[in-house]
Structures are given as structure tokens and as C-alpha cells.
Amino acid sequence: MNERRFFVKNVEETTVVSGEEFRHAVSVLRIGKGDEVVLCDNTRTEYPGTVLAVDKASFTVRVNGKRENKKEATADVTLLCGYLKGDKTEYSVQKAVELGARRIIVFRSEHCAAYMNENKLARLNKVSVEAAKQCGRSIAPQVEYFGDFADALAATDAKNKLFACEFATETTFDLHALRGSTAVVIGPEGGFSEKEARLAAAAGYATISLGKRILRADTAAVTMLSVVMWELGELQ
Ligand code: SAH
């Protein structure tokens, strides 16, 4: 069975876990006194501990030590993706976390058909935490939202900036030579406008074509991240 991992803001010798993490622990995992758990504080360090007590709205963990999490990617990869309809963005976030992305930015662009709100963003962050736990990570990337495409493009200082463009006729970046921090941009269902493609080029993004067929946005996100993670040595 997977280790039972919980994300908290700060880990102390005695740590109280409350809120969503508590509810999940009690209702799904049936956590009890004496159980072994692992606490994560969104760093590469994780903390094994023992449950001291379970109360009505929280449980208390005595931390027994700390160790480096070995599942985090070494590569620093950011996904920027257009906000999608229904639960499609949740899928992209889940897969991005599994594939080891460090940062996830969701943006609104010209051909976006969906509207973000606080609850939906909270839901995406919950998906990130669940995915991180499931694949044994100690960092659940925070999902950030940008209502302006240009702001989203400017929000990363990654060394390599890649723009997946469905109407590009060629790829202007040698992916086999990829090294260092990398950001990948994927459009919404409606794709990008010519103007947005020009904006990305002006912001230093190289154009990537994923071939002859138009992929759905969620497929494109998984494909781009897989290729990038592979080239950075993370999937080997
Ligand atoms: N509605 C658009 C397709 C959008 S696909 C149309 O019919 O043309 C959603 C996003 O996935 C695109 O904006 C792009 O970022 C990515 N994508 C899909 N297929 C791609 C391809 N062949 N090459 C590069 N990017 C692609």
C-alpha cells in the first residue's frame, strides 16, 4: 500500500493536521492512533511520523525524523495551459503532477470557452495534492491562474520556453538538446490566435509542432510534458 502522505504548511515536532487533509484521513483512510504517516510541506524533505491522537477536526502527528523525497524530478518544468471546459483541466493538472511538473499555470486566452472562479481553482489545487500523494511526491505544485495571456507568458523565467502551436509548420527548437529549466505552453480547446502566437514569439518562446494531427489540449499537455521529461532524463 502507498504510504499515507499528508500535506501541511509547516512541519514541527508535533504537527496538527486539519481541514481537507484531516477529512480525507478520517473518512477515506480511517487514520487512527499509532498509525505511521508521512508529512510533506511542499519541499523536497518529507517527515515520517506517528499519529498521537485523532480529534473531531484534526489529528496530531509526532514527527520521528526527516528524509529527502526521492520521487521529485530534478528537472524544473512548468506547464502553462489554457483553461478548459468541464473537468479537462483537472485531467491535465493530474497528469502534469504525475509527470513531475514543478509549477502549473492555467491561463485565459482569446479562444478560451471556460471561466475560472475561486472554487474551480481550489478544486484544481486539490487535484494537484491528490495526484502528488498518489505518486509519492513531497511537492504538490500550486496551480496558479492568470486571466491575461501575456501575464502568463511573462510569469516564468525558465531557460527554455516552448510554445505548442497547432498551426505551426515547423519546430524551431532542438528538443534533443534540451537542458535546464523548461516551460511548455498549451492552448485551450479553441487553440491560439495568430496574435497570441506572435506574442509568445516576442516573449522568447520557441514554436513546437506536434505533427500532422491536431491533438486535444489535454493530450497535447501530456505529450509535451512526456517529451520534455524524457529529454531531460526524468522518465528513464
Ligand atoms: N481548435 C484548434 C485546436 C486546438 S488544440 C483547431 O481546430 O485548430 C489545443 C492545443 O493543443 C493547441 O493550442 C496547441 O497548444 C496544442 N496542439 C494540439 N495539436 C497540436 C499540434 N499538432 N502541434 C502543436 N500543438 C498542438
Residue pLDDT, tens place only, 72-88 = 999 999 999 999 999 99
Query: DSSP secondary structure string, 100-155?
Result: T-SEEEEE--TT------HHHHHHHHHHHHHHHHHTT-S--PPEEEESSHHHHHHT
Rounded Cα distance, 109 and 45, in Å: 36
Question: Of all atoms in ligand 1, which is nearest to the CA of residue 163?
Answer: 15
Question: What is the maximum alpha-carbon separation in the chain?
Answer: 60
Angle (nearest 5°) at CA 176 between 174 and 177:
70
> 114: Cβ below 6 Å to ligand 1?
no
Count how many residues are written for the chain: 236
pTM of the model: 0.96
pLDDT tier, 3 (very low <50, low <70, confident <90, very high otherwise): confident
Question: Of all atoms in ligand 1, which is nearest to the CA of residue 111?
Answer: 1
> 83: Cβ below 6 Å to ligand 1?
no
> 209: Cβ below 6 Å to ligand 1?
yes
Mean pLDDT of the chain: 97
Rounded Cα distance, 37 and 67, in Å: 13
Percent pLDDT > 70 in the chain is 99
Average pLDDT of the residues in 93-108:
98
pLDDT tens figures, 217-234: 999 999 999 999 999 999
- Per DSSP, 74 falls in state S
pLDDT tens figures, 113-134: 999 999 999 999 999 999 999 9
Residue with cell 524544473: 76
> 187: Cβ below 6 Å to ligand 1?
yes
Bridge partners, 164 (sequence order): 208
Q: Are 47 and 181 in contact (CB under 8 A)?
A: no
**CA distances, 115 to each of 62, 111, 118, 149, 226 (Å):** 42, 11, 10, 14, 27
